[in-house]
A and B are shown apart, each in its own frame.
Chain A
């Protein structure tokens, strides 16, 4: 079946530190991959996506590259801000299916 595995949180960083949140997936076929972010008390926002191997999704300084050989889609940001504190979800949609399959989420805490 399809599944997504994310690193356990919380991830605690100081402002301006480098961020990596690991995500690996299991899927048949060629899924599209996503990162969603959930700020406290809010719904999920689409952060970035990649639809095929070697694609790089980017938005608001965040990046992730679709690596088929390692079945990974790690989220990175060069310099985090306090306002980036949130829960980050890695997700996939497999070809022919419309449901998003989510990882368990990783909480990021950034201190000044």
Chain B
């Protein structure tokens, strides 16, 4: 158990809908990262937050957004969902903005029908 929690574990929704994925980092970790794992794209970095502020952006679509709250939990919002958004979404956390060790949660499996 990495200490990173993600909810929900599974999510099934229809095209065009909006969903919110939640992540709680390990106790004491200030950085949160979001990754997408899909069969065709592999594991891809989406976005990083450090202590409430956006720190780095990767291949995140404009339909997707994220935030980190004062209690350090983070949410990833996915809107106008398409079939191709079906994937496993992982959250990871690290101690600070420069730490190279990232600890991953169990993931949320999103299925868009």
Complex contacts, A93 vs chain B, CB 8 Å: 100
Complex contacts, B43 vs chain A, CB 8 Å: 89, 100, 102, 105
Q: Which of A57-112 contact B (CB under 8 A)?
A: 89, 93, 97-105
Secondary structure type dominating chain B contacts: strand
Complex contacts, B42 vs chain A, CB 8 Å: 102-105
Complex contacts, A44 vs chain B, CB 8 Å: 90, 92, 104
Tell me if A1 counts as interface (CB < 8 A to partner B).
no
Q: Which residues of B contact A (CB under 8 A)?
A: 2, 4, 31, 33, 35, 42-45, 48, 55-56, 58, 90, 92, 94, 97-98, 100-107
What CA separation (Å) do A18 and B42 show in the bound complex?
A: 27
A-B contact count (CB 8 A): 53
Binds B, one of A8-16, A19-27, A45-53: A45-53
- Residue of A34, A93, A97, A100 ringed by the most chain B CB atoms within 10 A: A100
What CA separation (Å) do A97 and B99 show in the bound complex?
A: 10
Does the CB pair B107–A43 fall under 8 Å?
yes
What CA separation (Å) do A101 and B35 show in the bound complex?
A: 10
A91: nearest chain-B partner, CB-CB: B43
Given the known A-B contacts A49-B101, A97-B56, A102-B42, are A43 and B2 also in contact in the complex, defined by CB atoms under 8 Å?
A: yes
Would you list 11 pairs from A and B whose C-beta atoms are within 8 A, ordered by A residue?
A: A32-B100, A93-B100, A98-B48, A98-B55, A98-B98, A99-B48, A100-B43, A100-B45, A101-B45, A105-B42, A105-B43
